[in-house]
Amino acid sequence: MLQVTVLRENREEVKERLAAKYFKQPELVDTIVELDDSRKKLQAEFDSLKARVNSASKDIGKLMGQGKKEEAEALKAEVAQLNPQLKPLEEKMTAVEKELHDTLIQLPNLPAAIVPKGKTPEENEIVKEAGTIPALFAGATPHWDITKKYNLIDFELGNKITGSGFPVYVGKGARLQRALIQFFLDYNTEAGYVEHIPPFVVNEDSAYGTGQLPDKEGQMYFVNEDNLYLIPTSEVPLTNLYRDVIIKEEELPVKMTAYSPCFRREAGSYGKDVRGLNRLHQFEKVEIVQVVAKEKSYETLEEMVVHVEKLLQLLELPYRILRLCGGDMSFTSALTYDFEVFSAAQGRWLEVSSVSNFETYQANRLKCRYKDSSGKTQLAHTLNGSALALPRILASLLENNQTEEGILIPKALQPYFRAEVIN
């Protein structure tokens, strides 16, 4: 959530930056400032009236003690007249505060100055492309055929027991999935990220805190009886560990990692681009999250990008890094880098990670703060990234490493998988 002071002090600049995200209601900025003016005016009236009532009430006791009964009775009459005005004023102030909050959360985060102009994924900026795209043998097939051939994943069985988008990993497929998860976690913890196993369902406050609500409400699975949401990523519970927390500056940066299943409804997804592992309703992911001082967040973002890049290099996958344009960024992000790996059998790039800086947007919702060296309380900056999302990594590993004799396992992954090839 944006800070009202930022909107007030930089009104036209805010509107220009919102336009970079193709936000269609820039007039809400003016509405928010006007509502904040009303809130301040009502607060001042309430405080003044309350102070007068409190002062008069104290004076009544003093006057009675001094035997000035007539003056005390006059003040009592004044208090009796003022008191009934407090509640309507407080109710009006509460209504304005609610309207202000409800309007404020409709604004997305402001994109950083470096964000490219553009509205569609085709307008994202390619920052880097690396690795060698393999030349496959004549009989090479996409991963949905490979998994059937080697009995690694059963999509039909998953459809039977749950529905489309819920695959069953079998035998060496399950072992490969587990190997990737352990490899990712070890890689992250060696870089100083503290491993967590968070809850896989969260309450409404947590979903609101990281920006899933109200923006992505339709994409999450909801447990109606308990008013809980299945997590779309472990970013949500991890970041919420610091909701309503003031962190000591010497404890920064906070670095966390977690494996979790992730649940996304992906309503309306269909066609060839969602076949097999390309888009699932349940998938596994290892996430990295950092909470940092505001001066460090963009330096940290670059470090996290390098961290994810090295992971892809260890997996020996061809990849590219994209800086997302304003129109393709998430509601909450100030700057996002996407990582894509090339799927040789499908002949296209598949997204496997997003690394984002949210600046203070999440922290303001979460009330996640720290005390700087001067003792002043500041909003923290939050960042997160996938390191990595498994389905498309697995798809690319199977497709790019297929030979006529079997599927080759990257060298870095062999100690975890305990074999060099799947055959």
Please give the sequence-ordered ranges of beta strands (E in DSSP) within 131-277, or none if there are none.
153-154, 168-169, 194-196, 201-203, 222-223, 228-230, 246-248, 254-263
Cis peptide before 134 (omega within 30 of 0): no
Here the tokens at position 240 are 């919420």
122 in a known ligand binding site: no
| 265 in a known ligand binding site | yes
Length of the chain: 423
Q: Is 264 annotated as a binding residue?
A: yes
Residue 293 and residue 249 in contact, taking contact as beta carbons nearer than 8 Å: yes
Decide if 399 contacts 147 (C-beta within 8 A).
Answer: no
Q: Where are the alpha helices (DSSP H) in 10-154?
A: 11-19, 27-65, 69-104, 143-149
Residue 206 annotated as lining a ligand binding site? no
CA 164 – CA 177 distance, rounded (Å): 19
Q: Is 352 annotated as a binding residue?
A: yes
Q: Exposed e or buried b for every residue in 241-263, given b needs 16+ CB within 10 A?
A: bbbeeebeeeebbbbbbbbbebb
Is 351 annotated as a binding-site member? Answer: yes
Q: Annotated binding residue at 386?
A: no
The three-class DSSP label of residue 192 is coil
Binding-site annotation: residue ranges for ATP: 264-266, 351-354
Binding-site annotation: residue ranges: 233, 264-266, 287, 351-354, 384
Binding-site annotation: residue ranges for L-serine: 233, 264, 287, 384
